[in-house]
Amino acid sequence: MITVVTTDAERTRHALRTAFESLYAQFDGARYERREGYDFLFIPQIPIAPFNGVWPIDDDAAPALEGALAEIAAAGVPGSVQLRAGETPACEAEAKRLGLTTELALPAMIVRAADLRPRPVEGLSISTVLGDDDRKLAIETAAEGFGAPVSLFEPIYGEHVLAVDGVRVYLGRAGDDAVSTSIGYTIGDTTAIFNVATPAGHRGRGYGAAVTAAAALGGFEQGAELGWLQASAMGFSVYRELGFEQVATDLLLTH
């Protein structure tokens, strides 16, 4: 079936699905399945709720949520439901009935090359990750920035993932210190920007904004027309200052 994409909001959702589907294909045992009315995501290598669950496309999927989430729970992995705010109220109600009542808003934001406003940061150098030493530094920087175990990030930064066409990891350094990192993934005419992370001790200096802009610029260099991301509450104002605009809101529902 051909997906017709007509608005920026639709482009971000189409790009999100395409990016995750491609990345999940790099992992043994992972499943990204486009089912009737929803997408099913399962990746045992990353056993956290945001990466495992159901992404409803329309409200016809509501009766299937319980069974789909049970598939994930049977593997001992926490599940989630991620949906576009206001588009699938029946699925949202069903997810909450099933106990997924913790809600996290993820603004979907986009930027075009003409609107991007990067700001140079004195003393900061940004490079793409090419060797194993830099790859490990990026993993450690991301883990510290998100306050999560290194083991959760190792699969995302695996050599086989970094070798995927269009994937670039960026590492910001101030002197000898790794201070921020991001991932850009260009597929077709869009670039996804993931895992923007700055350890707490280095925040407030523009490092996160700089590596975000680097990922967007890298995508434009590869031919992308649009850079996009899902913003955290901490990053939202930073991305706005860079020229990103919000086109929709995704909701992540977890236990």
Span 14-33, pLDDT tens digits: 999 999 999 999 999 999 99
Taking the model in full, what pTM does it have? Answer: 0.96
Domains parsed from the chain with CATH numbers: 8-107 (no CATH), 113-224 (3.40.630.30)
Going by pLDDT thresholds of 50, 70 and 90, the confidence category of residue 1 is very low
β-bridge partners, 39: 34, 55
Give residue-wise pLDDT tens across range 73-106: 999 999 999 999 999 999 999 999 999 999 999 9
Going by pLDDT thresholds of 50, 70 and 90, the confidence category of residue 6 is confident
- The C-alpha atoms of residue 13 and residue 126 are separated, in whole angstroms, by 29
* CA distances, 109 to each of 52, 137, 221 (Å): 22, 28, 20
Going by pLDDT thresholds of 50, 70 and 90, the confidence category of residue 157 is very high
What percent of the chain shows pLDDT beyond 90?
A: 98
Buried b (16+ CB within 10 A) or exposed e, 28-48: eebebeeeebbbbbbbbbbbe
Side-chain half-sphere CA neighbours of 228 within 13 A? 30
Q: What is the pLDDT of residue 184?
A: 98
